[in-house]
Structure 1
Amino acid sequence: ELKPSSIARTVVAIRSLYKFLARENGAVDIAREVKPPRIPKRLPKALTLTEITSLIEACGNEGISIRDRAMVELLYASGARVSEIVALDLSDLSRDEELFTLLVKGKGGKERLVPVGRYAREALDNYLVRIRPTIAREKRSSALFLNQRGERLSRQSAWKIVLDAAKRAKIESKVSPHALRHSFATHLLDGGADIRVVQELLGHASVTTTQIYTLVTIDKLRESYALAHPRSR
């Protein structure tokens, strides 16, 4: 049985063919009124808190892995896109005794402030004190996260760090930097955060983009209801 997405691609290809034939040979475009099926929205897959913890622990905490751990902690703690994380400069990080705040530069040059909690703060402190000075050398890069040549860490390298940690942690769920962003949003909503606040933290221009995460939470509520309510079955 074909998936709706496969059927939709086939319909688009057939419509394009008949449109071409109609234009070139004067054939009747019999496929013009054929509509592709609606493709259901894919719900984002959030990692569990146990999986998040396993992923972070799998980064290690010695040598260059201190940087990797700090980056993965920050991806989950901030909900930022991986491209936004590797674009961070040291000057985008401000701190007080309780909290780090990131100035994240999002899509379209739109900036947002994102608070970061204790675990990510401690991991960042460890990286900034123990590792970054040793790999920065004389290059004096402004980038927060550096590769071992003292240059800004690339998006591809950040992806590899996450995937390698997931492999070591033996996590069965699909893991990517974006999965950490999904998890950030889902866990906040599960914890009772206001959707408008989550929208601001994610840097979504419209709350409708953020609302897809509420569907994940509603699914969990339905599942709990079905299992627990005596008259749900």
Structure 2
Amino acid sequence: MADATLGELAERWLDHKRASGRGMSDNTETAYRADLHAWGRALADHHGIDVPEDLEPLQTLNPAHLTAEALTAAAAAFFRQGKSPATRSRRISAMRGWCAWLVRTGHLTADPTLDLETPRLPRRLPVALTDEELGRIVRAASTPHERARGQWILLDRALIALFAGAGPRTSEVVGLRVHDLVRDADGALLRLRGKGGAHRNVPIAPAAVEPVDEYLADRRRRLGPFEDADPLLVTLAGRAITTGMIEYRVDQWFRRAGVRRPEGELAHVFRHTYAVGVLREGGSLNELQAALGHQNLATTSIYTKVAAEGLRDLARTAPVLRHLRETRPSPAASGG
């Protein structure tokens, strides 16, 4: 339809992505909508279009407004607004994907994003917790706290066990059902649903299963029986746990433990810690890639540098080095 607004075309693009083989998670769709909304606002400003507060900016625009000049001006506006390189890069990626679809479907004759420059992102290594920090966090989560809202120690311990034992994303933990903890003669597996609806099974050690079993037993005593298809993790009120609830609980653990909180999604630091631990214990990159559910091995390979940094620190503090530093040879022994 030649007179379709960009708002309508954005909905068709999102429908197309949802229906594609890889699918699209709710979080990804929310991010796309926020990015396209930001583009719509910036493009409307560039073209001098006054958008009512109750109207989506893209509804006031059509494909003719998607020019290379307008997109460059909008990208510059994001920079002036102080948006981070990561945010600007993500927005440009969303616009490129959308415009490529608009060209394929005949709504644009040429791709106006070809001259857009992606901001250079600073190379930041993932932050992993030390054993000492992990111990403090576990102790904080395992200790009753009178001002903690909705504290359920066995749930907290189960959360830590799942994060530390399998390295899942927070969204994957939220999506777990009771039957996703699979047990057989060889041990236990955690069945995770990752990005794009992809499934993977990750082995989980008995030491990580035990806190989950303790939580499930206590849940049965408190809230009554549950079905295999029910959410694995629920609050004391019986409601399925959400991403926000997990982030709140993790924030409380860090605060009470006195551990410096990393930037970004707090719970993700456990995924980083799991990944570095797998490599330090001798796991291969391919094994780690499968466990984390990365589609690209290059994404996984960043953990090799973090693991190597840790090994260098370990080498510098090895006991034999301390003895060598403290014990100096006599001049005769040194051959002088």
TM-score normalised by length of structure 2 = 0.54
Letter in 1 for 2:292: L
Following the alignment from structure 2 to structure 1, what is the Cα–Cα distance between the partners of residues 317 and 226? Answer: 59
Following the alignment from structure 1 to structure 2, what is the Cα–Cα distance between the partners of residues 122 and 220? Answer: 29
3-state SS of paired residue (2:189): strand
TM superposition shift of 1:59:
1.0
Counterpart for residue 80 of structure 1:
168
Report if aligned partners of 2:233, 2:241 keep a CA contact under 8 Å in 1. Answer: yes
After superposition, the CA RMSD in angstroms is 3.4
Following the alignment from structure 1 to structure 2, what is the Cα–Cα distance between the partners of residues 121 and 133? Answer: 17
Change in CA separation of 1:172 and 1:138 when aligned onto 2, cut-off 3 Å: same
TM superposition shift of 1:177:
0.8
Report if aligned partners of 1:56, 1:73 keep a CA contact under 8 Å in 2. Answer: no
Counterpart for residue 273 of structure 2:
183
Following the alignment from structure 2 to structure 1, what is the Cα–Cα distance between the partners of residues 140 and 162? Answer: 15
Report if aligned partners of 1:135, 1:147 keep a CA contact under 8 Å in 2. Answer: no
Report if aligned partners of 1:137, 1:150 keep a CA contact under 8 Å in 2. Answer: no
How many residue pairs end up in the alignment? 206
Unaligned runs of 5+ in 2: 1-41, 47-67, 74-114, 145-150, 322-336
Structure with higher Rg: it is 2
TM superposition shift of 1:97:
6.6
TM superposition shift of 1:34:
10
TM superposition shift of 1:224:
6.3
3-state SS of paired residue (1:146): coil
Report if aligned partners of 1:100, 1:117 keep a CA contact under 8 Å in 2. Answer: yes
3-state SS of paired residue (1:211): helix
TM superposition shift of 1:52:
1.3
Letter in 2 for 1:195: L
Unaligned runs of 5+ in 1: 1-12, 24-32
Following the alignment from structure 2 to structure 1, what is the Cα–Cα distance between the partners of residues 212 and 226? Answer: 20
TM superposition shift of 1:191:
1.8
Following the alignment from structure 1 to structure 2, what is the Cα–Cα distance between the partners of residues 53 and 225? Answer: 22
Letter in 1 for 2:167: G
3-state SS of paired residue (1:167): helix
- Percent identity over the alignment is 31
TM superposition shift of 1:137:
3.9
Following the alignment from structure 1 to structure 2, what is the Cα–Cα distance between the partners of residues 70 and 205? Answer: 28
TM superposition shift of 1:134:
3.7
TM superposition shift of 1:174:
2.1
Does 1:166 pair with 2:226?
Answer: no
Report if aligned partners of 1:90, 1:142 keep a CA contact under 8 Å in 2. Answer: yes
Report if aligned partners of 1:136, 1:151 keep a CA contact under 8 Å in 2. Answer: no
Does 1:60 pair with 2:142?
Answer: yes
Q: Alignment partner for residue 132 of structure 1, among 215, 219, 223?
A: 219
Change in CA separation of 1:66 and 1:97 when aligned onto 2, cut-off 3 Å: farther
Counterpart for residue 157 of structure 2:
69
Compare 53-62 and 218-227 and name the one that shifted more.
218-227
- Higher RCO (C-alpha 8 Å, min separation 6): 1
Report if aligned partners of 1:89, 1:143 keep a CA contact under 8 Å in 2. Answer: yes
Compare 75-84 and 87-96 and name the one that shifted more.
87-96
